[in-house]
Structure 1
Amino acid sequence: MPLSLAHVAAAPAQSSQVFILAHGTTALPSPAAGDLPAEARAYVEKALADEQKLIHLNHFSHHHYYVVLTNKPTPERVAEALRRSGHSLHAQLKAEKVAELYIHNLSGRGDAGLLLAEGLALTAYQFEGYKTDEKSRKAPTLTQVALVGDAATAESIKELDGIIKGVTLARDLVNAPLNKLNATQLAERMATAGDEAGYSTDILDLAKIEALRMGGLLAVNLGSPEPPTFSILEYKPDNATNARPYILVGKGVVFDTGGLSLKPTPASMDMMKCDMAGAAAVAGTLYALAKNQVPLHVIGLVPATDNRPGGLAYVPGDVLTMHSGLTVEVLNTDAEGRLILADALSFAKKYDPELVIDLATLTGAAVRALGTEASAVMGTADEQTMAALDAAGHRVHERLVSFPLWDEYADHIKSDIADIKNLGKGEAGHISAGKFLERFTEGYPWIHLDIAGPAFLTAPESYRGKGGTGMGVRLLYEFLTSVLGA
């Protein structure tokens, strides 16, 4: 059962509650003290004096928790500490089998209740999976989090719920294995989500992809026994404020063996169901925007296939003719993501977009440069747009590090027999991949996000959890909605 977020005027008596307090609080304000016995109040105030950040009172029939804001140098870092407090609090709620929690915000920071609830909700995510043993299927105990009074408005809670559902969709898609989510099933899942949220989906099949001459997508698919898909997700409300659409492009490689340039296993291949995390982020973002009825026209483009070495698989040395008409010499079949993205980026030109952003688990070079803590960003959009995206990343703690696309990097992808090649040098692999994509973005401003590090975690990390993180959904939602207030 997914966690329910709600707004209530007051918390019921004998209910489990959490009080968010300002940094430096040493004496409990009256709403937080309630009818606490003198001994309990003294216990909490001593813990506050000792600068404890999460304090627990067990009343046996119910529980009180106190979360204290941290002293951080920026509001964004205070916000992230609150999300992480939500994660820590969730562990205590789980241990005490708390089913309902009521949040009071006494901190003086208006969004503190929402941030704590966000951390709780993201932590509460569980991939339902495919277990059949009832003993191993543990239903979550915490089912409802309610914000009390002026801790948040009903509208802001509803918006947060829509965002969390978008992240959940993205995580579910990334965590599904290939035999449960091939290219066709991915397209169908995104279409079903669109029906629920309010965006439309047009799924192009093999015949239409061939008619469009998407040589990159078709080549990567050659080794697969299953057909590719190209999905067009469109959210266009009647009150959209932008005359030209924002376009999100997501890499949809539902499993990547590396093709004939086979990945070593298990070190590199066993987690490759996550290679469609860019596609999942696009679907999750469209879901959140549509669910919350954000007045923006946004289009998602998702080229999808698996990459296998079977059948008539493309080989190193092949030359492909792409949707744009450019020719590409293939030097490594494991550099496949840029090939399918290139066709989608070329296709995007038909919409005369305001801005195009692509997301992809594209290179190991980005992971080696940044780990799982940030994504690499580069592009041709103006400095103001890049700065706005970077600021959005800090606000939601999906941070970005900018890399250049200097002209010299074009030398890394020069080919002797084609317009370009799909592999650069051993150095700066994430930049040469971006430089490759740039060749297909003529006519519009563009941003590339290499999310290979933070999109999938092999060990639990705070509220991001383990497995698919939904990276990109909160970032893009925050960025796109900030456009409305610009």
Structure 2
Amino acid sequence: MIPKISITSKISGEHSLACLCTDLKETATIQLSESEKSFLQKKFEKEDTCVITRIPQLLFFGKIKTDKEPYRQAEMARVAGTKLYDALKSAGDTTVQLTNFCEAGFLPDFLEGLLLNTYTFEKYKKEKETFQLENILIFDEKITNEKIDEIINTTKATFVARDLVNEPLSFLTANQFSKEIEKLSDEAGFSLEVFHKKKIEALKMGGLLAVNKGSIDPPTFNILEWKPENARNKQAIVLVGKGVVYDTGGLSLKPTPNSMDYMKSDMGGAAGIVAAIYAAALNKLPLHIVGLVPATDNRPDGNAYVPGDIIKMFDGTTVEIKNTDAEGRLILADALSYAKKYQPQLVIDCATLTGSADIIAGPHAAVVMGNTADKVEQLKQSGLNTYERLIEVPLWEEYAAPLKSPIADLNNLGVREGQTTIAGKFLEHFTDYKWIHIDMAGPAFRKEKEAYRPAGGTGFGTRLLYDFLKSQTE
């Protein structure tokens, strides 16, 4: 639950106080004893945060290093917000005041880090977290209620993405995923159309249908649309998300340790684009956005598709199956082909697509590639703004060569070397518009908590995409 947040005209001595500063001189308005000043100075020589306990209140100080780039400074403010929440939780303090002594306006980032660290996923736990931060009072002339509302909404959206990734297949089947999107559409006001199996068969979406053949649960194809009357773009921006709600690898079965045991997260790309559209609708972005989410699980049942099969995709391309664990690109390809009907201004797809993307970037970034250099640069800037960073790789023609097949138009695997880009080249075949591909296999799901990113689903992509979409309205 998001705490109540309000702007205050003065700082009260009744509640804990947290501030950002670049230098101790900036904190002169806070009355500190000589021993407290000495303690704070010594702490700041080694650390970026300091907590002074004045029972029952806390004084919290976050230091922003001026020798860092602005986006790094903003991330320092978010991490300080994370540490503030941990200190409040430890003290059982449910109300805090935030202020900023830095010349630059980092209080929104401070607030965002604080809020993002309040997330818990306790639906299946008998014993639940009892601490709840209730009130945040903000003393800062640079922040507005509109900005606070925007941060609240993007935080809520990030939590939505985290929840979706954390849900197990025992609950989040493809059909249930569609029902969860429907709840979000009812709340935020975007529209939703769901294609069920008969419609998908009529459309001949061969990639989605092939991956679904081994499942007892039918697939869905979800079309989300946010189209306000004041939309500034004549052609829609289309977001496509890989919605493999669980991936065993199919008949090309994955090993269990550190692989299949995390595969409920294989719809992290879909979760991110759903949450980004939810945030755009909540914040009333004046932008026409379409979301496409093909959803299924990938299992090795008796009628599952097999290596050696040849399938026909939605656009008529034939694909020789070399590995049933290269399934994400098959369902994305059908969605990318379907996106052509919108004559889009731009298409961005997000997917936990290849293990090699994790090897390239680890949990610290996603891999990006595309055929529109200026939009890729804008997206990379949004990656810095939100600290959901992107590493760009090229789409050289040589990476398409391993996808040739002697018996079909393409094969779905290629070779091991350069696999992240090879997968991108496979997807590129199904595009004829400006297009960007994000492979977020590394940062979508974490084994351990880091700052405001929890263990489990991180919600990666939500804030990144929202920031990019917002930039397209400015």
TM-score, normalised via structure 1 length: 0.95
Is structure 2 residue 467 aligned with structure 1 residue 478?
Answer: yes
Quote the offset at 1:87 in angstroms: 1.5
**1:69-148 alignment runs, 5 A limit:** 69-110=64-105, 112-132=106-126, 136-148=127-139
CA distance in 2, matches of 1:104, 1:91: 18
SS in 2 for 1:150: coil
**1:3-18 alignment runs, 5 A limit:** 3-18=3-18
The residue number in structure 2 matching 1:385 is 375
Quote the offset at 1:64 in angstroms: 1.6
Identity of aligned residues (%): 46
CA distance in 2, matches of 1:125, 1:332: 37
Quote the offset at 1:131 in angstroms: 1.5
**1:394-433 alignment runs, 5 A limit:** 394-433=384-423
Query: Which of 424, 446, 461 matches 1:434?
Result: 424
- The question of whether the paired residues in 2 share the 8 Å contact of 1:193 and 1:287 is answered with yes
- The question of whether the paired residues in 2 share the 8 Å contact of 1:28 and 1:45 is answered with no
Moved more, 61-70 or 205-214: 61-70
The amino acid that maps onto 1:105 is N
SS in 1 for 2:66: coil
CA distance in 2, matches of 1:50, 1:425: 51
Q: Once superposed, which parts of structure 1, at least 4 consecutive aligned residues long, lie more than 2 Å away?
A: 1-13, 24-29, 38-53, 143-146
TM-score, normalised via structure 2 length: 0.97
SS in 1 for 2:407: coil
The residue number in structure 2 matching 1:260 is 251
Quote the offset at 1:154 in angstroms: 0.7
The residue number in structure 2 matching 1:54 is 49
CA distance in 2, matches of 1:317, 1:260: 12
The residue number in structure 1 matching 2:170 is 179
Deviations 1:340-363 (A, max 9, x none): 000000000000100000000000
CA distance in 1, matches of 2:191, 2:11: 40
- The question of whether the paired residues in 2 share the 8 Å contact of 1:224 and 1:311 is answered with no
Deviations 1:186-232 (A, max 9, x none): 01101101111121111111011111110000000000000000000
SS in 2 for 1:124: coil
The amino acid that maps onto 2:98 is I
Quote the offset at 1:45 in angstroms: 5.6
CA distance in 1, matches of 2:98, 2:451: 20
The residue number in structure 2 matching 1:218 is 209
Quote the offset at 1:116 in angstroms: 0.7
CA distance in 1, matches of 2:45, 2:402: 57
Q: Please, which runs of 5 or more residues in structure 1 have no aligned partner?
A: none
Is structure 2 residue 317 aligned with structure 1 residue 317?
Answer: no
Deviations 1:307-361 (A, max 9, x none): 0001310000000100011000000000000000000000000001000000000
CA distance in 1, matches of 2:123, 2:257: 21
Query: Which of 195, 201, 214 matches 2:192?
Result: 201
Distance change (3 Å), C-alpha of 1:27 and 1:131: closer
Distance change (3 Å), C-alpha of 1:331 and 1:52: closer
The residue number in structure 2 matching 1:458 is 447
The amino acid that maps onto 1:73 is K
Is structure 2 residue 153 aligned with structure 1 residue 162?
Answer: yes
The residue number in structure 2 matching 1:28 is 27
- The question of whether the paired residues in 2 share the 8 Å contact of 1:183 and 1:228 is answered with yes
CA distance in 2, matches of 1:198, 1:47: 52
Is structure 2 residue 351 aligned with structure 1 residue 356?
Answer: no
Quote the offset at 1:139 in angstroms: 2.6
The amino acid that maps onto 1:209 is I
Quote the offset at 1:47 in angstroms: 4.0
- The question of whether the paired residues in 1 share the 8 Å contact of 2:18 and 2:84 is answered with no
The amino acid that maps onto 1:423 is L
